[in-house]
Protein backbone atom coordinates (compact mmCIF):
# COMPACT_ATOMS: atom_id res chain seq x y z
CA UNK A 1 0.00 0.00 0.00
CA UNK A 2 2.84 2.41 0.94
CA UNK A 3 4.53 1.57 -2.32
CA UNK A 4 1.33 2.37 -4.22
CA UNK A 5 0.93 5.72 -2.43
CA UNK A 6 4.51 6.72 -3.14
CA UNK A 7 4.10 5.86 -6.81
CA UNK A 8 0.84 7.82 -6.96
CA UNK A 9 2.46 10.90 -5.44
CA UNK A 10 5.43 10.66 -7.81
CA UNK A 11 3.10 10.30 -10.79
CA UNK A 12 1.12 13.35 -9.66
CA UNK A 13 4.31 15.43 -9.28
CA UNK A 14 5.52 14.35 -12.71
CA UNK A 15 2.15 15.16 -14.25
CA UNK A 16 2.10 18.59 -12.63
CA UNK A 17 5.66 19.26 -13.72
CA UNK A 18 4.87 18.15 -17.25
CA UNK A 19 1.72 20.30 -17.36
CA UNK A 20 3.62 23.34 -16.03
CA UNK A 21 6.43 22.93 -18.53
CA UNK A 22 3.96 22.65 -21.39
CA UNK A 23 2.25 25.87 -20.29
CA UNK A 24 5.52 27.79 -19.89
CA UNK A 25 6.92 26.56 -23.18
CA UNK A 26 3.79 27.49 -25.12
CA UNK A 27 4.75 30.24 -27.55
CA UNK A 28 3.09 33.61 -27.18
CA UNK A 29 0.19 34.34 -29.47
CA UNK A 30 1.67 35.66 -32.68
CA UNK A 31 0.83 39.17 -33.79
CA UNK A 32 -1.48 39.14 -36.85
CA UNK A 33 0.45 39.85 -40.03
CA UNK A 34 -1.70 42.86 -40.86
CA UNK A 35 -1.13 44.55 -37.48
CA UNK A 36 1.79 46.67 -36.25
CA UNK A 37 2.64 47.91 -32.78
CA UNK A 38 3.96 51.29 -31.66
CA UNK A 39 6.70 52.29 -31.45
CA UNK A 40 7.75 51.09 -34.91
CA UNK A 41 11.37 51.79 -33.95
CA UNK A 42 12.01 51.32 -30.24
CA UNK A 43 14.98 53.60 -29.77
CA UNK A 44 15.36 57.35 -29.81
CA UNK A 45 14.60 58.87 -33.25
CA UNK A 46 13.03 62.27 -32.67
CA UNK A 47 11.99 64.84 -35.28
CA UNK A 48 11.35 62.41 -38.17
CA UNK A 49 11.22 63.43 -41.84
CA UNK A 50 10.36 60.93 -44.58
CA UNK A 51 10.53 60.72 -48.37
CA UNK A 52 9.88 58.06 -51.02
CA UNK A 53 12.99 57.23 -53.01
CA UNK A 54 13.10 56.20 -56.66
CA UNK A 55 14.06 52.67 -55.57
CA UNK A 56 10.72 51.86 -53.92
CA UNK A 57 11.92 52.47 -50.37
CA UNK A 58 10.78 55.15 -47.96
CA UNK A 59 13.72 56.89 -46.30
CA UNK A 60 13.43 58.36 -42.83
CA UNK A 61 15.79 60.91 -41.28
CA UNK A 62 15.82 61.90 -37.61
CA UNK A 63 17.82 63.69 -34.95
CA UNK A 64 18.93 60.76 -32.68
CA UNK A 65 22.68 61.15 -33.07
CA UNK A 66 23.06 64.93 -32.87
CA UNK A 67 26.34 64.60 -34.73
CA UNK A 68 25.46 63.11 -38.09
CA UNK A 69 21.68 62.43 -38.57
CA UNK A 70 20.72 58.73 -38.94
CA UNK A 71 18.91 57.36 -42.01
CA UNK A 72 16.57 54.33 -42.06
CA UNK A 73 14.57 52.81 -44.90
CA UNK A 74 11.41 50.71 -45.29
CA UNK A 75 9.03 49.48 -47.97
CA UNK A 76 5.95 49.36 -45.74
CA UNK A 77 6.46 52.16 -43.15
CA UNK A 78 6.57 49.54 -40.36
CA UNK A 79 9.71 47.41 -40.80
CA UNK A 80 12.79 49.63 -40.87
CA UNK A 81 16.48 49.01 -41.45
CA UNK A 82 19.35 51.30 -40.58
CA UNK A 83 21.17 52.66 -43.66
CA UNK A 84 23.79 54.98 -42.21
CA UNK A 85 24.11 58.69 -41.49
CA UNK A 86 23.72 61.77 -43.66
CA UNK A 87 27.15 62.99 -42.57
CA UNK A 88 30.33 61.61 -41.09
CA UNK A 89 32.57 63.28 -38.54
CA UNK A 90 34.65 64.46 -41.49
CA UNK A 91 31.80 65.80 -43.66
CA UNK A 92 29.38 67.18 -41.04
CA UNK A 93 28.54 70.90 -41.02
CA UNK A 94 30.62 73.12 -38.77
CA UNK A 95 29.20 76.65 -38.96
CA UNK A 96 28.15 76.46 -35.30
CA UNK A 97 31.18 75.34 -33.23
CA UNK A 98 30.25 72.38 -31.00
CA UNK A 99 26.71 72.53 -32.38
CA UNK A 100 24.42 69.54 -32.77
CA UNK A 101 22.39 68.67 -35.87
CA UNK A 102 18.66 68.73 -35.21
CA UNK A 103 15.34 68.31 -36.99
CA UNK A 104 16.24 67.32 -40.57
CA UNK A 105 13.82 67.99 -43.43
CA UNK A 106 14.30 65.88 -46.58
CA UNK A 107 13.03 66.89 -50.04
CA UNK A 108 13.51 66.17 -53.75
CA UNK A 109 14.27 69.35 -55.70
CA UNK A 110 14.99 68.74 -59.36
CA UNK A 111 17.22 65.68 -59.52
CA UNK A 112 18.78 66.25 -56.09
CA UNK A 113 17.79 65.17 -52.60
CA UNK A 114 18.01 68.29 -50.47
CA UNK A 115 18.34 67.97 -46.72
CA UNK A 116 17.68 71.03 -44.58
CA UNK A 117 18.95 70.86 -41.01
CA UNK A 118 19.18 72.92 -37.81
CA UNK A 119 22.52 73.47 -36.12
CA UNK A 120 22.66 74.67 -32.54
CA UNK A 121 24.02 74.28 -29.08
CA UNK A 122 21.31 73.81 -26.44
CA UNK A 123 20.00 77.25 -25.53
CA UNK A 124 21.91 79.01 -28.32
CA UNK A 125 18.88 80.90 -29.60
CA UNK A 126 20.83 83.76 -31.20
CA UNK A 127 23.64 81.80 -32.85
CA UNK A 128 21.70 78.74 -34.06
CA UNK A 129 20.85 78.53 -37.73
CA UNK A 130 19.71 76.48 -40.70
CA UNK A 131 21.82 74.91 -43.42
CA UNK A 132 21.34 72.51 -46.32
CA UNK A 133 23.05 69.61 -48.05
CA UNK A 134 22.46 67.66 -51.26
CA UNK A 135 22.86 64.10 -52.51
CA UNK A 136 22.15 62.13 -55.68
CA UNK A 137 20.54 59.30 -53.68
CA UNK A 138 18.39 59.40 -50.53
CA UNK A 139 20.93 57.32 -48.62
CA UNK A 140 23.68 59.82 -49.46
CA UNK A 141 26.48 60.64 -49.30
CA UNK A 142 25.37 64.23 -48.65
CA UNK A 143 27.49 67.21 -49.59
CA UNK A 144 27.07 70.10 -47.19
CA UNK A 145 26.37 73.53 -48.67
CA UNK A 146 26.74 75.19 -45.30
CA UNK A 147 24.78 77.83 -43.48
CA UNK A 148 21.75 79.50 -45.07
CA UNK A 149 21.26 81.91 -42.14
CA UNK A 150 21.64 82.32 -38.39
CA UNK A 151 19.12 83.73 -35.92
CA UNK A 152 21.10 86.91 -35.37
CA UNK A 153 21.51 87.43 -39.13
CA UNK A 154 17.83 87.11 -40.02
CA UNK A 155 16.42 88.61 -36.80
CA UNK A 156 14.39 85.54 -35.92
CA UNK A 157 15.35 84.18 -32.52
CA UNK A 158 15.72 80.39 -32.22
CA UNK A 159 15.95 79.72 -35.97
CA UNK A 160 15.63 75.92 -36.04
CA UNK A 161 13.17 73.29 -37.35
CA UNK A 162 13.16 73.98 -41.11
CA UNK A 163 10.33 72.89 -43.42
CA UNK A 164 10.43 73.23 -47.23
CA UNK A 165 7.41 73.55 -49.52
CA UNK A 166 6.76 74.48 -53.15
CA UNK A 167 3.64 76.44 -54.00
CA UNK A 168 2.59 78.39 -57.06
CA UNK A 169 5.88 77.65 -58.79
CA UNK A 170 7.90 79.14 -55.93
CA UNK A 171 10.00 77.58 -53.19
CA UNK A 172 9.69 78.51 -49.53
CA UNK A 173 11.25 77.65 -46.20
CA UNK A 174 9.26 77.76 -42.94
CA UNK A 175 11.02 77.61 -39.58
CA UNK A 176 10.97 78.68 -35.94
CA UNK A 177 10.71 77.47 -32.36
CA UNK A 178 8.63 79.21 -29.67
CA UNK A 179 9.60 82.66 -30.95
CA UNK A 180 7.14 82.70 -33.84
CA UNK A 181 6.97 80.64 -37.04
CA UNK A 182 8.32 82.42 -40.11
CA UNK A 183 8.49 81.85 -43.87
CA UNK A 184 10.79 83.13 -46.60
CA UNK A 185 11.16 82.58 -50.34
CA UNK A 186 14.14 80.57 -51.60
CA UNK A 187 16.26 80.63 -54.74
CA UNK A 188 15.29 78.46 -57.70
CA UNK A 189 17.55 75.61 -56.58
CA UNK A 190 16.32 75.84 -52.97
CA UNK A 191 19.85 76.16 -51.59
CA UNK A 192 19.81 79.80 -50.54
CA UNK A 193 17.46 82.67 -49.77
CA UNK A 194 16.04 84.54 -52.74
CA UNK A 195 17.75 87.88 -53.21
CA UNK A 196 15.82 90.58 -51.40
CA UNK A 197 13.47 88.16 -49.61
CA UNK A 198 12.44 89.01 -46.05
CA UNK A 199 10.89 86.81 -43.33
CA UNK A 200 7.13 86.81 -42.85
CA UNK A 201 5.57 85.62 -39.59
CA UNK A 202 2.75 83.10 -40.05
CA UNK A 203 2.11 81.68 -36.56
CA UNK A 204 2.58 82.63 -32.92
CA UNK A 205 5.01 81.77 -30.14
CA UNK A 206 3.48 78.47 -28.98
CA UNK A 207 4.87 76.39 -31.84
CA UNK A 208 7.81 74.54 -33.34
CA UNK A 209 8.26 71.57 -35.70
CA UNK A 210 6.25 73.04 -38.58
CA UNK A 211 4.79 70.89 -41.37
CA UNK A 212 2.27 72.15 -43.95
CA UNK A 213 0.09 69.81 -46.00
CA UNK A 214 -2.10 70.90 -48.90
CA UNK A 215 -5.35 69.00 -49.45
CA UNK A 216 -8.58 69.84 -51.28
CA UNK A 217 -7.70 73.51 -51.59
CA UNK A 218 -6.80 73.96 -47.92
CA UNK A 219 -3.41 74.31 -46.24
CA UNK A 220 -3.02 72.45 -42.95
CA UNK A 221 -0.42 73.77 -40.53
CA UNK A 222 0.83 70.99 -38.23
CA UNK A 223 3.06 71.96 -35.30
CA UNK A 224 4.04 70.97 -31.76
CA UNK A 225 3.45 72.78 -28.49
CA UNK A 226 4.81 72.15 -24.99
CA UNK A 227 8.09 70.64 -23.80
CA UNK A 228 9.78 68.05 -25.99
CA UNK A 229 12.58 66.70 -23.89
CA UNK A 230 11.75 66.10 -20.24
CA UNK A 231 11.14 62.35 -20.32
CA UNK A 232 7.85 61.40 -18.66
CA UNK A 233 7.27 65.06 -17.81
CA UNK A 234 7.26 66.04 -21.49
CA UNK A 235 4.10 67.88 -22.53
CA UNK A 236 4.67 67.84 -26.30
CA UNK A 237 1.35 67.80 -28.18
CA UNK A 238 0.66 67.84 -31.92
CA UNK A 239 -1.75 70.53 -33.07
CA UNK A 240 -3.14 71.80 -36.37
CA UNK A 241 -4.75 74.85 -37.97
CA UNK A 242 -6.18 75.45 -41.44
CA UNK A 243 -6.02 78.19 -44.05
CA UNK A 244 -6.97 78.88 -47.66
CA UNK A 245 -3.58 80.53 -48.17
CA UNK A 246 -0.07 79.20 -47.63
CA UNK A 247 0.85 82.21 -45.48
CA UNK A 248 -2.35 82.14 -43.46
CA UNK A 249 -4.18 83.20 -41.50
CA UNK A 250 -4.27 79.69 -40.02
CA UNK A 251 -7.25 79.20 -37.73
CA UNK A 252 -8.92 76.61 -35.52
CA UNK A 253 -12.49 75.36 -36.02
CA UNK A 254 -13.85 78.44 -34.26
CA UNK A 255 -11.83 80.90 -36.31
CA UNK A 256 -9.19 81.52 -33.63
CA UNK A 257 -5.86 82.45 -35.19
CA UNK A 258 -2.60 80.54 -34.78
CA UNK A 259 -0.98 83.98 -34.63
CA UNK A 260 -2.75 84.13 -31.26
CA UNK A 261 -1.73 80.53 -30.45
CA UNK A 262 -5.19 79.09 -31.18
CA UNK A 263 -5.31 75.60 -32.73
CA UNK A 264 -6.93 72.16 -32.73
CA UNK A 265 -5.30 69.29 -30.81
CA UNK A 266 -4.46 66.36 -33.08
CA UNK A 267 -2.60 63.96 -30.81
CA UNK A 268 -1.82 64.19 -27.11
CA UNK A 269 -0.58 62.14 -24.16
CA UNK A 270 -2.14 58.85 -23.05
CA UNK A 271 -1.44 56.21 -20.43
CA UNK A 272 1.03 54.58 -22.85
CA UNK A 273 2.80 57.52 -24.49
CA UNK A 274 3.57 61.14 -23.60
CA UNK A 275 5.45 63.89 -25.42
CA UNK A 276 3.71 63.16 -28.73
CA UNK A 277 5.04 65.63 -31.27
CA UNK A 278 7.21 66.88 -34.13
CA UNK A 279 5.43 65.00 -36.90
CA UNK A 280 6.78 64.08 -40.32
CA UNK A 281 5.35 64.55 -43.78
CA UNK A 282 2.13 62.68 -44.59
CA UNK A 283 2.53 59.48 -46.63
CA UNK A 284 -0.37 57.93 -48.57
CA UNK A 285 -0.53 54.13 -48.91
CA UNK A 286 -1.88 52.11 -51.85
CA UNK A 287 -5.38 52.11 -50.35
CA UNK A 288 -5.45 55.91 -50.15
CA UNK A 289 -4.94 56.06 -46.37
CA UNK A 290 -2.78 58.85 -44.96
CA UNK A 291 -0.05 58.17 -42.37
CA UNK A 292 2.46 60.23 -40.45
CA UNK A 293 5.35 59.70 -38.07
CA UNK A 294 6.15 61.55 -34.87
CA UNK A 295 8.09 60.89 -31.70
CA UNK A 296 6.91 60.09 -28.18
CA UNK A 297 8.13 58.85 -24.81
CA UNK A 298 6.88 55.40 -23.74
CA UNK A 299 5.58 55.28 -20.17
CA UNK A 300 6.79 51.66 -19.94
CA UNK A 301 10.29 52.40 -21.26
CA UNK A 302 10.94 56.13 -20.89
CA UNK A 303 14.45 56.19 -22.34
CA UNK A 304 14.51 58.35 -25.45
CA UNK A 305 11.90 59.61 -27.89
CA UNK A 306 10.81 56.61 -29.96
CA UNK A 307 9.40 56.55 -33.49
CA UNK A 308 5.61 56.37 -33.77
CA UNK A 309 3.29 55.80 -36.73
CA UNK A 310 -0.42 56.57 -36.93
CA UNK A 311 -3.14 56.94 -39.52
CA UNK A 312 -4.71 60.30 -40.20
CA UNK A 313 -8.39 60.36 -41.12
CA UNK A 314 -10.22 63.40 -42.50
CA UNK A 315 -13.54 64.46 -41.00
CA UNK A 316 -15.41 67.56 -42.14
CA UNK A 317 -12.25 68.93 -43.69
CA UNK A 318 -10.02 68.39 -40.65
CA UNK A 319 -7.34 65.78 -39.88
CA UNK A 320 -7.99 63.45 -36.95
CA UNK A 321 -6.19 60.61 -35.19
CA UNK A 322 -8.40 58.01 -33.50
CA UNK A 323 -9.01 59.02 -29.91
CA UNK A 324 -6.56 61.92 -30.33
CA UNK A 325 -3.88 59.67 -28.78
CA UNK A 326 -1.12 57.38 -30.02
CA UNK A 327 -2.19 53.88 -30.97
CA UNK A 328 -0.56 50.93 -29.24
CA UNK A 329 -1.38 48.68 -32.20
CA UNK A 330 -3.24 49.18 -35.46
CA UNK A 331 -3.76 47.77 -38.93
CA UNK A 332 -0.69 48.16 -41.12
CA UNK A 333 -0.52 50.50 -44.11
CA UNK A 334 -1.37 48.77 -47.37
CA UNK A 335 1.52 48.39 -49.82
Sign of CA dihedral 200, 206, 212, 215: negative
- Is 177 within the bounds of a domain? yes
- Is 5 within the bounds of a domain? no
- Is 14 within the bounds of a domain? no
- Is 17 within the bounds of a domain? no
**Distance separating alpha carbons of residues 176 and 151, to the nearest angstrom:** 10
The catalytically annotated residue of 125, 208, 252, 264 is 208
**Distance separating alpha carbons of residues 114 and 232, to the nearest angstrom:** 34
CATH number at residue 273: 2.115.10.20
What tens-digit pLDDT sequence spans the chain (335 residues)?
433 333 343 334 333 333 333 333 334 456 788 999 999 999 999 999 999 999 999 999 999 878 899 999 999 999 999 999 999 999 999 999 889 999 999 999 999 999 999 999 988 999 999 999 999 999 999 999 999 999 999 999 999 999 999 999 999 999 999 999 999 999 999 999 999 999 999 999 999 999 999 999 999 999 999 999 999 999 999 999 999 999 999 999 999 999 999 999 999 999 999 999 999 999 999 999 999 999 999 999 999 999 999 999 999 999 999 999 999 999 999 99
Q: How many domains does the chain have?
A: 1
- Is 27 within the bounds of a domain? no
What pTM, to 2 d.p., does this model score?
0.90
- Is 335 within the bounds of a domain? no
- Is 28 within the bounds of a domain? no
**Taking Cα atoms as reference points, which of 245, 243, 203, 201 lies closest to residue 223?**
203
Domain that includes residue 45, residue range:
33-329
94 catalytic per annotation: no
- Is 207 within the bounds of a domain? yes
Strand partners, 251: 242, 257
185 catalytic per annotation: no
Amino acid sequence: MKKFLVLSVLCSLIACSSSSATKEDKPEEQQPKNVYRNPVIDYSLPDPSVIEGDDGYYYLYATEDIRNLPIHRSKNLVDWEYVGTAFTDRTRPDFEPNGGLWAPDINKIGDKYVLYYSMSVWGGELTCGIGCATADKPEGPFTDHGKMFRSNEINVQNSIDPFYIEDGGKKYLFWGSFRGIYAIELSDDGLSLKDGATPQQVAGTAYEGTYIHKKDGHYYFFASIGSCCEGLKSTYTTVVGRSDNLFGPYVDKNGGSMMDNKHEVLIQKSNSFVGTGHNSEIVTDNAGNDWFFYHAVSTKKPEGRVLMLDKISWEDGWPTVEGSVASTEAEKPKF
